[in-house]
Amino acid sequence: MKKRMIGLLLVTVLGTAMLAGGCKKGSQRELSQMQSVNESIEPVEMSDSCRNSYEIFVASFYDSDGDGIGDLKGVDEKLDYIEDLGADEIWLMPICPSPSYHKYDVTDYMAVDKSYGSVSDFKALVADCHKRGIRVLTDLVINHTSSEHPWFQKAKSYLEKLPKGAKADYGKCPYLKYYHFIKDDTDRTGYAKLSGTDYAYEARFWEGMPDLNLDQQKVRNEIAKVTQYWTDLGVDGFRLDATTSYYTGQNSKNIGFMTWLDKTVKRQNPGAYLVGEAWTDSMTYSSFYRSGIDSFFDFDFAGNDGFIAKTVRGNMKADDFGSSMVMMQDRIAKNSETGIDAPFYTNHDMARSAGYYSQDDKGEKTKFAQGLNLMMSGNAFLYYGEEIGMKGSGIDENKRAPMQWTADQKEKGMTKGPVGMEKFQMKFSPLDQQKKDPYSIYNYVRQAFRIRRNFPAVARGEVVVDQGLSNDKILVIEKKPKDTSLSPVVLVYNMSDKQQSIDLRKMAFPEKKLSGVLTVNQKEIELAKDQLVMPGRSIAVLTRD
Ligand code: CA
């Protein structure tokens, strides 16, 4: 309660600063636009009006015990940072025991990997997150297990003992049915041979990750036990790994399985949130919303070739970026009444964005791209380290480098990074330096998160493009929330690298008060006599009076 009042007070201060900034340049205006907005935040207290999600690779985040590997206590110690950044949800990449550094091959679904800590560390982390209004999602990796999982090991040792040419007796080893074993000596796509036997098994990613047989009721019962276990530990939902591989090439079966999964999890926790990874075309992942799963990551906009990067490079027109958002919104709405888009820009499988743009020494393109991502409707996801423009491309290990809290790699909490990670130089400064610079990538992202929290329509509004004012450089959209208690907002984007003037008298929407800004350098947005003057690569938030 106390926190909410502080939030409101700061918003009022912001309002005053903005008025002074918008109308005239005077002595009142001591703070820059960036700094003034940075001071304001409206706590959301677990409401559903916004979700700013922060993806964490635990091993590379913060090390609490000095072994060089990030851990759950380390995440707990950094909750002040996460909260101050403006995130209200964390997605932890897999934390269950696993032989790999990334842990996307689980050997025990109901435990925590020793290098990350213990189940009681996890409980403490969830409790501390909830005290701050931060939700916790864990990664649910159920397309496959590790080949070292006891289920697979039992099936494997049964088949290894089987005399050459003999048929497997599924009654004698129930775990055979947990996977897709076939008697086959051809090289079938997506299958790996079980050496020393006549059998092969489905393993879509690699031989160390045997695919589970999700048609089996026994496997579904195991999955339901797993989701119940983590629900009992307090998680607020799950990120679903590799949903297109549940039934490779059979999307109606994928939707069917996810319908079951959605019902199962929501029976256990009606408030649970599920977000699926379906790394495929948007026609397919929008159809997945039929399953009832709340969100799917919006791959069309993400990565080096996605709509965001294209727009920043000038290879996609401003108004086309707007119509793409509307198209996605329509596709989701066609498949679900409650589906919520999950925009993201990069994740642990993609090259980091600092390498996407040439001639970006000051990070202006890197910042603006984050603005385009974080101003999208839906539940926005940010991959750790992107808020400071960390680098990392090539092998996967490089994309999961240690969070750069400071330049001194020996400083407390700094992690070693995955074994096999190559040596490379970061392009932008570490966090401690960026914090001091109001125009850093960090402060830009922090401000974007604040705008999302202070103006719920940014995350919850339906996009309508102002066709009259939008063109190849300018995009003007209104966002109108379905929930009529939330006020609509207008976002004006100058996608070009030059200053542009927008005549607000010609705008189709009534929101004409400058209430929030995202600018990539010291040049500020000015509103005078209905003319909105915007520096290159800037975004303005307009509200009603
Ligand atoms: Ca550690």
378 φ/ψ sector (left φ>0, alpha ψ -120 to 50, else beta): left
Q: What's the 3-state SS for 345-400? A: CCCCCCCCHHHCCCCCCCCHHHHHHHHHHHCCCCCEEEECCHHHCCCCCCCHHHHH
Determine the distance separating the centroid of ligand 1 and the alpha carbon of 401, expressed in angstroms.
15
Under DSSP, is residue 293 helix (H, G, I), strand (E, B) or coil? coil
pLDDT bin (cut points 50, 70, 90) of residue 31 is: low
Reported as a single tens digit per residue, the pLDDT across 430-487 is 999 999 999 999 999 999 999 999 999 999 999 999 999 999 999 999 999 998 999 9
Residue with tokens 């919006």: 298
- In this prediction, residues 416-443 reach a mean pLDDT of 97
Which of 487, 490, 540, 533 is CA-nearest to residue 511?
490
CA count, 13 A, side-chain hemisphere, 544: 9
Active site annotation includes 277: yes
- Look up residue 103 and give its two tokens: 């842990």
- In this prediction, residues 155-182 reach a mean pLDDT of 93
The alpha carbons of the chain give a radius of gyration, in whole angstroms, of 24
Reported as a single tens digit per residue, the pLDDT across 499-516 is 999 999 999 999 999 999
pLDDT, position 17: 36
pLDDT tops 80 at residue 12: no
Q: What pairing do the DSSP bridges indicate for beta strands 237-240 and 135-140?
A: parallel
Determine the distance separating the centroid of ligand 1 and the alpha carbon of 63, expressed in angstroms.
4
pLDDT, position 387: 98
Correct CATH for 52-143+234-450 of 3.20.20.80, 1.10.3210.10, 3.30.750.24, 3.20.130.10: 3.20.20.80
pLDDT tops 90 at residue 363: yes
Helix runs in 1-139, H state only: 2-23, 33-38, 72-77, 79-85, 119-131
Q: Phi and psi at residue 438, in whole multiples of 5°?
A: -60, -15
Under DSSP, is residue 257 helix (H, G, I), strand (E, B) or coil? helix
Active site annotation includes 300: no
pLDDT bin (cut points 50, 70, 90) of residue 46 is: low
Determine the distance separating the centroid of ligand 1 and the alpha carbon of 119, expressed in angstroms.
15
What distance in Å separates the CA atoms of residue 168 and residue 268, rounded to the nearest whole number?
Answer: 37
Determine the distance separating the centroid of ligand 1 and the alpha carbon of 54, expressed in angstroms.
20
Q: What's the 3-state SS for 481-545? A: ECCCCCCCEEEEEECCCCCEEEEHHHCCCCCCEEEEEECCCCCCCEEECCEEEECCCEEEEEECC
The pLDDT mean for the chain works out to: 92
From the candidates 89, 277, 360, 466, which is the catalytic residue?
A: 277
Reported as a single tens digit per residue, the pLDDT across 97-128 is 999 999 999 999 999 999 999 999 999 999 99
- In this prediction, residues 267-281 reach a mean pLDDT of 97
Type of residue numbered 488: P
The CATH number that domain 5-46+461-543 falls under is 2.60.40.1180
Q: What's the 3-state SS for 128-193? A: HHHHCCCEEEEEECCCECCCCCHHHHHHHHHHHHCCCCCCCCCCCCHHHHHECEEECCCCCCCEEE
What distance in Å separates the CA atoms of residue 337 and residue 271, rounded to the nearest whole number?
Answer: 17
- In DSSP notation, 447-461 reads HHHHHHHH-THHHHE
Q: Which of 48-52, 109-113, 218-222, 362-366 has the lowest mean pLDDT?
A: 48-52
Determine the distance separating the centroid of ligand 1 and the alpha carbon of 386, expressed in angstroms.
22
Q: Which residues contact 470 (CB under 8 A, 6 or more apart)?
A: 318, 319, 322, 476, 477
Determine the distance separating the centroid of ligand 1 and the alpha carbon of 209, expressed in angstroms.
26
pLDDT bin (cut points 50, 70, 90) of residue 187 is: confident
pLDDT, position 193: 94
The residue extents of the domains of the chain are: 5-46+461-543, 52-143+234-450, 150-202
From the candidates 71, 88, 241, 526, which is the catalytic residue?
A: 241
Which protein residues have a CB closer than 5 Å to ligand 1 (ion)? 63, 65, 67, 69, 71
Determine the distance separating the centroid of ligand 1 and the alpha carbon of 352, expressed in angstroms.
24
What is the H or E stretch that residue 200 is in?
Answer: strand 199-202
pLDDT, position 512: 95
Residue 190 C-alpha from the chain's centroid: 28
Determine the distance separating the centroid of ligand 1 and the alpha carbon of 72, expressed in angstroms.
8
